[in-house]
Amino acid sequence: MADLQSIVARVKNALSSKSVSSNHSTSAAQPPSLQTDDNRAELVSQFARELEAVSGRTIGPVAPEELADQVVSIARERGVRSIAVGSGVRLDLDGLSDALRTGGVTVVRTASVDSATRSTLRNQLALVDAGLAEADYGIASTGTLAVFSEETRPSALTLLPPASIVVLPLDQMKPDLASALAAIGPAALEAHRLTLITGPSRTADIEKRIVMGVHGPKSLDVIVVWPRDD
């Protein structure tokens, strides 16, 4: 936690410095610690390698019209009979919910949660086979997902169900953590809880044997979605 706070502090300082510089110049230089994200295909390839190294899986990039079929295919492969679906960020997840229902999967929508049903939803998230969410950002250097917690997209959605399916728009892929934090901005970091997910849950026992899924999902499938206008 101390390391993350230190990174956030450095990013805030870098953004503040950039803002001050822009008042005296027509173009402000990018902070030297932040990598550019121009080559998106290379970023996706790096993300996939890093995620695979920690037992996760990357699928795609896929076209938006192929997304529903990919989600249904993963649900069948994982033996999912019930799934919780969060609200979308940039993508419309309603169509995915309809496709899953058509495929015989029971769907729980977190978008309809309110103060009266929050405790009921938490119990449902503990019982469903999978959770489906959209990530805010992907971090290529470590194969990490950055996901904000919202009322209609609670952190339990990616932490409690034994299988986690996450969709990620390609243009939300960033080279490293510092770049992702800079894109998010200090105000959003202060106002929301941010979860960083790097692969399925992994725990080592006293004999240093890795056990999957003890404290979270046993599987993580990330579907990268190619923008419709590319």
Task: Give the pLDDT of residue 114.
Answer: 61
- Rg of the chain over Cα atoms, rounded to whole angstroms, equals 18
CA proximity to 138, closest of 180, 85, 108, 105: 180
Task: Give the pLDDT of residue 35.
Answer: 58
Task: Give the pLDDT of residue 20.
Answer: 42
Question: In what side-by-side order are the strands of the sheet with 194-197?
Answer: 173-174, 137-139, 144-148, 194-197
Domain ranges, ordered by start, for the chain: 40-225
Low-confidence ranges of the chain (pLDDT < 50): 1-4, 11, 14-15, 18-33, 213
Looking at domain 40-225, which CATH architecture does it have?
A: 3-Layer(aba) Sandwich (3.40)
Task: Give the pLDDT of residue 43.
Answer: 92
Task: Give the pLDDT of residue 125.
Answer: 84
* Tens digits of residue pLDDT in 2-30: 444 555 555 455 445 544 444 444 334 44
